[in-house]
Structure 1
Amino acid sequence: MPETRNSSESLCLRIGALALDTEDTGTDIYNKLGLREPDKMGFKTPRFLSLISSLLENSVQKNELLLDTAEIEDVFTAFHGRSTPPVSIKQYIDRMYKYAGCSPSCFVVAYIYVDRYLQQTKTYLTSLNVHRLLVTSVMVAAKFIDDSFFNNAYYAKVGGINTSEMNRLEMKLLFGVDFRLQVNVETFRRYCLLLDKEVGECELDWPMKACWVKESWSSKDTEFPRKTPVAR
């Protein structure tokens, strides 16, 4: 059974009230991405997941080409595995979407966490670290923004790793992003707009750095209350 946080509203609802209902001149970006009414029952992959998968796959391919030609040097982290997992990024994200039981907004927030981690640590996204970064980011996002969420052992099973490693990766991510888990409405909207353009503005000068969005950190930014998850 998922753990439950005592709160009057989940982030799915908070983002729904604050971000998804924010008027966007021109196009309703959240409808276009499939964030408003995801097909969880039929397990049809919503557009935003396909776009996230595509962007991450493109970033991995670009980075590994640069690594092969020694144009960049990889930095080994706790998220690096010994070999490339036998499952594709798309298959891995689809699996998490099916079994993680978190709100759709968690995947966008997790994508932002991955971006922040890479920016903060100057790490490059590759086939050796992308899967672990994804499952850890989705888990942390679910803990931070959803009222009900599964524990580390459950996410470890979904992600194909053991619980002790899941606990360790959670702490590495938290320290890697300097515990900056808050995502304000404007940042959420900008990442959604970049996802909609898929590659467009995300032709990166420094590799995955995802759809790198420059953010200004502010202690006054209080749209979403900050709750730091702990290892379970």
Structure 2
Amino acid sequence: MLLETKQIKDVVTVFHGLTAPTLTVANYIDRIFKYSACSPSCFVLAHIYIDRFLHLTHLKLTSLNVHRLLITTIMLAAKFMDDAFFNNAYYAKVGGISTSELNRLEMNFLLGVDFRLQVSVETFGRYCLHLEKEGFQIERPMQACRIKDNWSNEDDSPVAR
């Protein structure tokens, strides 16, 4: 759940901007989808990553950090899931931030989740079901699931259990 920054007192991190971007979250996701050429699975995986990061770091999702968390997690999901993906400089341009900032965000995110990007097939499926219940049309990655059969059945994702 995205909270208004005024409603909470949150620790300021590298993910926080000084002001909320004028681009809506939906439009930002559309932009990333349009220019990143990520598989739809990356967006589900990014959702899991954000939940995991927020759970482990005790941060709140706000209008000041959501955009940076999105570009970072979608980029990481593409690197983890897709065979072909763009470099950090390209994702930075798509996300409207500098390459050095995205590099810093990537490292801080990875440290925040203790470099645990692995997600079980079961957790991925639960998130797909959760998103479908919310009215999103999800393209199920059957090929990706077969490729990732060695994924663990255990992870610490706090949502969609």
Report the TM-score, using the length of structure 1 for normalisation. Answer: 0.57
What runs of 5+ residues in structure 2 fail to find an aligned partner?
136-148, 153-161
Q: Which amino acid aligns with 1:82?
A: L
Q: Which residue is 1:139 aligned to?
A: 75
Match of 1:121 among 57, 62, 72: 57
Counterpart CA distance in 1 for 2:105 and 2:25 is 18
CA displacement at 1:145 relative to structure 2 = 1.1
Q: Which residue is 2:131 aligned to?
A: 195
Match of 2:30 among 90, 94, 100: 94
CA displacement at 1:80 relative to structure 2 = 0.1
Q: Which amino acid aligns with 1:102?
A: C
Structure 1 residue runs of 4 or more that deviate by more than 4 Å after TM superposition: none
Counterpart CA distance in 1 for 2:4 and 2:24 is 15
CA displacement at 1:157 relative to structure 2 = 0.2
1:1-232 correspondence to structure 2 within 5 Å: 59-60=1-2, 63-64=3-4, 67-68=6-7, 72-198=8-134, 222-223=150-151
Instruction: Answer whether contact 1:156 1:166 (CA < 8 A) is retained.
Output: yes
CA RMSD of aligned residues (A): 1.7
After superposition, give the CA deviation of every residue in 1:71-117 in whole Å (9 maximum; x if it has no partner). Answer: x4212111000001010000000001000011110000011101110
Report the TM-score, using the length of structure 2 for normalisation. Answer: 0.82
After superposition, give the CA deviation of every residue in 1:27-70 in whole Å (9 maximum; x if it has no partner). Answer: xxxxxxxxxxxxxxxxxxxxxxxxxxxxxxxx22xx228x53xx
Question: Which structure: larger Rg?
Answer: 1
Counterpart CA distance in 1 for 2:24 and 2:9 is 23
Counterpart CA distance in 2 for 1:111 and 1:186 is 15
What runs of 5+ residues in structure 1 fail to find an aligned partner?
1-58, 200-220, 225-232
Counterpart CA distance in 1 for 2:128 and 2:92 is 27
- Point out the structure with the larger helix share: 2
Q: Which amino acid aligns with 2:150?
A: T
